[in-house]
Amino acid sequence: MNDRYFTMRAHFLEREANGRCFFKLRELEQLWFCSLKNVKRILRQFEELDKITYLPGAGRGNPSEMIFSHPLQIEVEEFMKDCIENGKLDQVAQLLRLPIPKSWLLKVSSDIREMFGYQQGTESKDVLHSFISRDFTTLDPLKVSISFESHLIEYLGDTLVKYDRKKDRILPHLAHHFESEEDDRKWTFHLRKGVFFHHQKPLTSNDVAYTIERIINSDESSHQWLTGDIEKVDCPHPYKVIITLNKKNPFFLRYIASPHFCILPSNQPFNEEEWIGTGPFSLKERTENKMVLEAFDHYFLERPLLDELHFYKVSHDAATIVDFTVQNSPSDEVRSKHEIETGFRFLMFNLRKQTVVQHPSVRKALYHLMDIEQLATDLNWDQWVEASSFVNSRSSPQKKDPTAIPALLAEAGYNGEPLSLYHMNYQKASDLANWFKEQGEKYGITFVLQSYTFHDFYCRDIDQKADLIFMGEVSSLDPHLSFLGAFYNDTLLFRRMFPLDSLQWINRKLETFKQVDSENREVIMSEIEAHIRENDLLIFQHHPIKTRTFHPLIKDVKIHSFGHFDFSKLWIPS
C-alpha cells in the first residue's frame, strides 16, 4: 500500500498545487498495473487512512480531483525515519527509486548510508549494500556488454586462467597448469580437482567443452570472436582439456581469461535467474529492483570475507547522495577513492546510415564544436581529463577552432537538416546533450535529442534511428583484451557504426596485434586511434575521474576490473 501511495504522489508531484491535483483514473490504471475497479478500491483505502480526499470527475471524460492531507515532503521524511528505525531496507530502496527531490534526501542521507553502507546482521553476517541508478541488464556471459554486469559475472563464475595486471601475464586458475604445442595452435589445460559449482556438481572437462560449444553455437552471442579460432575440443580425461586452434594465436590465453569465458555446468541449461558457476559468490536473489550475491562457502580458493552483497535499484539522485558515489559528505563519515576511469567518453557518428554526417566536413565541424574545456566550464565539471585516446596515458589535449565551423558546414552543403542525437537517460548525460544542442544552434545545426537506456542499447533499432550517440567505453583489467573486444564485440558501437572499410583496415591491424609483444601492441593501438581521429569516426571527449566513497570501517578497498571495487577482498572488522 505504501509503495502505491508514494508512487502516485511522486507521479503527481509536478502538477500538484496547494495540496491538490487533477488527474484521470486511467493514469492510475497504468501506474499501478491494475484494473479501474481496483484503482477505485485503492483510492477508497487511502481515504480511510486519511491520506487523501478523492473527488470523482463530474461527467464522462472530466478529470477527477485529489486533495492530499499532508505535504509529500513531510510524509517522505516520516516514512523514511520509520523504515530506518525498524530496518526496513527494501521499503527504503523502493522509496529511493521514485523521482523525489534531491534536497529531501539530504536530511536523512547519513542515516541511509549507515543503514545501507554496511551491516552486521543478527547471525553475525557481514552484509554490504550498494545502489545502482538504472535497471539491471543481462547477466548472460554470451550477451553482457555493460561494465557493471560484466564485473558481477567475475564473482559468479571463474575462467580457466586469470590475467595478472601487475605483471601483465596469465596465471593458472581453474586450470592449475597449461602448456602450448604446435606453434601455439594446441593448448592443453589440466583442471584442478575439488572445484565445485554452486549446485555442488564437481567441475570436469565436459563443463569446459560445454561452455565453448555454447559460445560457438549461440545465435545471440556478442562474444563468439573469443572462440573464432577454435577448431576442436578434446576431453581425454575428466581433468584434462585439449583445445586445438585453426591457426597460431599466442593471444588465445588472454581470450579465455575473459569473464565472458567463465565455465558453466554442462548438466544444467543456463538460467539468468538461477545463475550457476564456480565463483566466490552465488546468486541468492534477483528481482527487477534488487540483486543479492552470497559468499560461496565451498569456493576452491579463499572464501570472500563479506557474507552478502545487496544491490538496490534507486533513482540517480538517491544514488549520488547515499551510495559509493555520494558527494560532499563530512570527512568523518566516509572515506573516498579517486581514480581516473580506465575508459573514455565519446560521441559516435553512425556511419552506416546515409545522412549528412557521412560528409567528412560535417564531422570535422562537430569535432570543433565539442570544446571540452568550455563544456566543463559551462556544466561546472570539476573532475575530468581530456581524451584523445582509449586510455589516459596516451591522451593529450586536442586543438579546437570554432571559427572553422561555418566554412566546414558550407563545404558539406549542410542546410540545417535535423540530426538525431541519442544520450543516456540520466541527468548528467541529458545536460551534456542539451549543451551540445545549444552550441550547435549558434551555427545553424539542428539536433533532435532522444534518450535511451541500456536495454535500448542492446536493441538494434537504435542503429537505424541514431545519427549520433553519446556513449562510453570502460576497460577490464586487461587493457589489450578490452581493446580487441571493442572492435570484435558485435554489441558495441564500434562494430555497429564504424564504416566497413575502416573496420576492415582495423581488423588487419588487429591480426598483427595478436601476434606481437606488449610494446608493439601499444604501437598498433596508437595507430588505430590515429586512424579514428584523422577520419573523425568518433569524437573523443574525456576520461572521467571517479570518486567512490565508502564507510570508514570497510577495509582493503581496491579498484578491480571496469573501475569497480573488488568485493572479494573487502571486509568489516568485528
What architecture does CATH give domain 1-70?
A: Orthogonal Bundle (1.10)
Question: Which DSSP helix (H) or strand (E) runs through 179?
Answer: strand 175-181
State the Cα–Cα distance between residues 360 and 444, nearest whole angstrom: 18
Q: Find the distance separating the first CA and the last CA of the chain, reported in whole Å.
A: 38
Among 227-236, 295-304, 326-335, which is the least confidently predicted range? 326-335
Question: What are the C-alpha distances in Å from 303 to residues 155, 293, 297, 569?
Answer: 11, 13, 6, 9
pTM: 0.77
Specify the pLDDT at position 118: 45
Mean pLDDT over each residue of the chain, to the nearest integer: 86
Specify the pLDDT at position 187: 95
Residue with cell 554490504: 128
In the CATH hierarchy, which top-level class contains the domain 149-269?
alpha beta
Domain definitions of the chain by residue range: 1-70, 71-133+280-333+551-574, 149-269, 340-546
pLDDT 10s digits, 187-203? 999 999 999 999 999 99
Task: Sort residue 50 into left (φ over 0), alpha (ψ -120 to 50) or beta.
Answer: left
With 70 as the cut, is the pLDDT of residue 428 above it? yes
Nearest Cα neighbor of 161 from 538, 447, 492, 477 is 477
State the Cα–Cα distance between residues 73 and 136, nearest whole angstrom: 29
Q: Determine whether 302 is exposed, middle or buried from the number of CB atoms within 10 Å of its CB (0-12, 13-18, 19+).
A: exposed
Cα 225 to its chain centre, rounded Å, is 21
Specify the pLDDT at position 381: 85
Nearest Cα neighbor of 252 from 174, 170, 191 is 170
CA atoms within 13 A on the CB side of 262: 26
Decide: 175 and 190 in contact? Cβ < 8 Å. yes
Residue with cell 569473464: 259
State the Cα–Cα distance between residues 308 and 128, nearest whole angstrom: 6
At 92, list the grid cell: 527504503
Cα 481 to its chain centre, rounded Å, is 18
DSSP one-letter code for 398: -
pLDDT 10s digits, 122-147? 456 778 777 787 888 899 999 988 88
Mean pLDDT to the nearest integer, 42-63: 88
Which CATH fold topology does 340-546 show?
Dipeptide-binding Protein; domain 3 (3.10.105)
Mean pLDDT to the nearest integer, 562-572: 62
Phi, psi of 80 (to 5 degrees): -60, -40
128 SS3 class: strand
pLDDT 10s digits, 465-523? 999 999 998 888 889 999 999 999 988 999 999 999 999 999 999 999 999 999 999 99
Q: Are strands 384-386 and 538-550 parallel, antiparallel or unpaired?
A: antiparallel
Nearest Cα neighbor of 309 from 160, 546, 542, 130 is 130
Name the pLDDT band for 324 (thresholds 50, 70, 90).
very low
Q: CATH number of 71-133+280-333+551-574: 2.70.98, 3.40.190, 3.40.50, 1.10.10?
A: 3.40.190
Cα 2 to its chain centre, rounded Å, is 30
Mean pLDDT to the nearest integer, 394-415: 95
